[in-house]
Amino acid sequence: MGAATHGRVTDAPASPKAAASDKGFVAELNGSAARPRARAAASSVIIGIVYKDWNYGGESWTLTADSGCADNQAGDWFLDTLTGGWERSISSLIPAGNCWMQLFEDPHYQGTEKTYKGSAPYVGDAMNDKARSVIWY
C-alpha cells in the first residue's frame, strides 16, 4: 500500500482482507482523494482494489490514477480491457478515491454491467469471474 500511494499511506492493515473490513482505512482511501491539497501533492491516488476471491481473498490488485473521481457521475478513469491475469478473475472489490466502479462483462465497456458504490465482498453471480473492462466515476 505504501508503494501504491508513494508513502502517503503507511499504516495499512497487514492483509488485503483486513484492509477491506477496516472502515477507517476505507474512509482514509476515499478521504485523501477528496482533499485537493493531498491530491495535488500526490503522484497517484488509489481508485480501487480488486480481489480474485470472494470476501477480499486471494491475489489483490491496487489500482491507482492521477486523481480520485469527481462527484459528477461521468466516467473519470477507464480500463477498456483487463489484462495480466485479471480478465474474468474479479470476485470482490473496494472502490476508493471517491469513485464508484462499474464492471463490464466484455472489453470496451460492452455486455452485462454492474456498478458498485461501496465495498463488495462478493460481486454477485452476474459478474463473478466475468469482468473484462472497468469504468470509475
Q: Provide DSSP, the chain.
A: -TTTTTTS-----SSHHHHHH-HHHHHHHHHHHH-HHHHHH-S-EEEEEEEEEGGGEEEEEEEEESS---SS-S--EEESS--TT-TT---EEEE-TT--EEEEEEGGGEEEEEEESS-BSS--TTTTTT--EEEE-
Question: So what's the pLDDT on residue 38?
Answer: 47
Report the pLDDT value the prediction gives residue 73, as an integer from 0 to 100: 80
Q: What is the pTM of this model?
A: 0.76
CATH superfamily, domain 16-136, is: Crystallins (2.60.20.10)
The percent of residues above 90 in pLDDT, for the chain, comes to 66
Residue with cell 480481489: 51
At 49-106, the pLDDT tens digits run: 999 999 999 999 999 999 999 987 889 999 999 999 999 999 999 999 999 999 999 9
